[in-house]
Amino acid sequence: MTKKINKSIIYKAVAIAVMIFLMLIPLMFVQNMIEDRDKYRQEAISKIINSWGPNAAIAAPILNIPYLYEEQTLMNDGVVKSILKTGYAKYAPDNLNAEVKTTSQIRYIGIFKVPVFTAEVTIKGDFGDITDMEPRSRLQDAFVSFEINSLKGISVPNFIWNEEIKTFEPNKYGNTLKYQNIDDYSYYGNYYRTVLSALSSKVELKDNNTFELKFTVKGSGNIGFYPIAKNNKISISSDWQNPNFSGAFLPETKEINENGFSAFWDINYLASNVASRLDKVTNIYESIFTASFIIPVDNYKNATRAVKYGILFIVLTFVFCFAFEVANKKPIHPIQYLLVGFAMVIFYTLLVSISEFIDFSFAYLIAAAATILLISVYTKIGIVKDISKKQIAVVVLSFTFLYGFLYILLQLQDMALLYGSIGLFAALAVIMYMTKNITWYEEIDTDKRF
């Protein structure tokens, strides 16, 4: 007696492998569909932002003192001449106290929603005695500039300098916090290339100078501050219940409840690494911190993660079907394999489309239940018509476990790899057990005469 490889099993295994690779095509189309929907959502968000207002990035009022200096310039005739130019010494406040109260609302474009806010900002502070005054300073031309990344949606500021009401105008001197060799500061895809807009007001100087600034500004996404003063105390409160704090500094204290959130920052110039003389600074943009107004569940992100597990789950399903087929000697046609695979692919399109209207968890439950029901009924009426109630219960429980396991992986972040590895190990153990009685070789009687 000799043994010969059971070719029928090998041919079926190869056919299943080919079908698994074929299933990569519809999964790729689903992935592209999710990306297109997410891109369409981003376009809708951009329309709302352009209409309402962008992220708000605020810096403290800055004291600007012009001064004259000489610069040696080589003329066309080869003669070096001294040219008198005007520079601007820029000083940050000694102390800054800012209080921000925001009210939020949801704006819609089609089915897409974006949180926006209106912030009431009060900034108080003082400039102490200027000790490093430049020679030939023109104190009579001193002015205060106020820096914010966009003037869109801002109210006319109420500005008080040394207990006198002053008026801000668009800054004719340009962006007073714009330096050379500045890298873009990036936070979740939002870029602060510089503090883009500025207002200015001429002021009279004393030994100690105090200020108070009040205004409202409309924005979306997040509100951030550059802590450029020597001592910065900044508080932000809102009725938004799902904030995210990020950037260079997290709040010293925070409270989040069903009524909203409140947070407080206390930052000194040593921690922020920002010098008091701002025109000598090369980069202040790494010091920004933000409070973000976010939608807590991103259905497209979760759906994208789910699709990444798609081919793995199709492999497991096909292997289980193959083991069931061989162990129970109930053949399953390749077309039936493909139909089950397509049902698993359609699960992702159902998930994305339903989650655009309801919570992702409920959308997942509906899509998974519909897919499990479809596959189970098809197994009973189309694949194995004489399947027992016990066997069909095993099919239902297997797919329920599969989609339940996927949902758990989607909810995990740091532990997803560990739980995924354990799940794969357990699945392999089950497959090994199911295939333990498969006849991989056919016995051939070599003494048989023909």
Residues 249 and 280 placed together within one structural domain of the fold:
yes
- Segment 315-328, tens digit of pLDDT: 888 877 777 777 66
> Which value, in Å, is the radius of gyration of the alpha carbons in the chain?
33
Q: List Cβ neighbours of 411 (8 Å cut-off, separation of 6 or more).
A: none
The stretch 282-305 carries a mean pLDDT of: 79
> Residue 303 phi/psi, 5° resolution?
-65, -40
**Same structural domain for residues 92 and 159?**
yes
- If asked whether residues 184 and 226 sit together in one domain, one would say yes
Domain count across the chain: 2
Residue at which a domain ends, from 237, 264, 293: 293
**Torsion sign (Cα): 18, 23, 26, 29:** negative
Q: What DSSP assignment string belongs to 148-198?
A: ES--TTBPPPEEEETTEEE--EE-TT--TT--SSPPPEEETTEEESS--EE
Looking at per-residue pLDDT, the higher value among 96 and 284 belongs to: 96
User: Residue 338: its pLDDT value, please?
Assistant: 86
Q: What is the DSSP letter of 277?
A: B
**Is 447 domain-assigned?**
no
Parallel/antiparallel/unpaired status of strands 190-192 and 185-187: antiparallel
- Domain interval for residue 147: 53-293
End-of-domain residue from the set 262, 293, 324: 293
Q: Which residue has the higher pLDDT, 173 or 336?
A: 336
DSSP state of 137: B
Examine the domain organization and report whether 166 and 274 are in the same domain: yes
Q: With CA atoms as reference, report the closest residue to 219 among 256, 193, 199, 192.
A: 192
pLDDT exceeds 60 at position 446: no
Residues 114, 200 within the same domain: yes
448 belongs to a structural domain: no
> Can you tell me the mean pLDDT for 274-291?
78
Q: Is residue 84 part of a domain?
A: yes
Decide if 102 is inside a domain: yes
User: Is residue 66's pLDDT more than 70?
Assistant: yes
Q: Are 312 and 403 members of one domain? A: yes
Residue 262 pLDDT greater than 90, yes or no: yes
* 170, part of any domain: yes
Distance, in Å, from the CA atom of 38 to the CA atom of 60, rounded to the nearest integer, reads: 36
pLDDT of residue 339: 87
Return d(Cα 313, Cα 95) in angstroms, integer: 59
Kindly state whether residues 170 and 312 are assigned to the same domain: no
Average pLDDT of the segment spanning 265-286: 81
Query: Do 432 and 308 have their domain in common?
Result: yes
Res 198: pLDDT: 66
The chain-wide mean pLDDT, for the chain, equals 79
DSSP 134: P
Q: What CA–CA distance (Å, rounded) separates 423 from 5?
A: 31
Who has greater pLDDT, 99 or 417? 99
Residue 352 reports pLDDT greater than 70:
yes
Instruction: Note whether 195 and 57 are same-domain residues.
Output: yes
Kindly report, residue by residue over 119-134, the tens digit of the pLDDT: 999 999 999 777 667 7
Instruction: Examine the domain organization and report whether 325 and 284 are in the same domain.
Output: no
Q: Is pLDDT at 247 greater than 60 in this prediction? A: yes
Give the per-residue pLDDT at 417.
Answer: 65
| Same domain, yes or no: 319 and 339 | yes
Report d(CA 22, CA 321) in Å as an integer: 17
Residue 82 predicted with pLDDT over 70: yes
Tell me 280's DSSP state.
G
- Predicted confidence at residue 443, as pLDDT, reads 52
User: Which of 293, 321, 345 corresponds to the end of one domain?
Assistant: 293
pLDDT, tens only, 372-416: 999 888 888 877 777 778 878 888 888 888 888 888 877 776 666
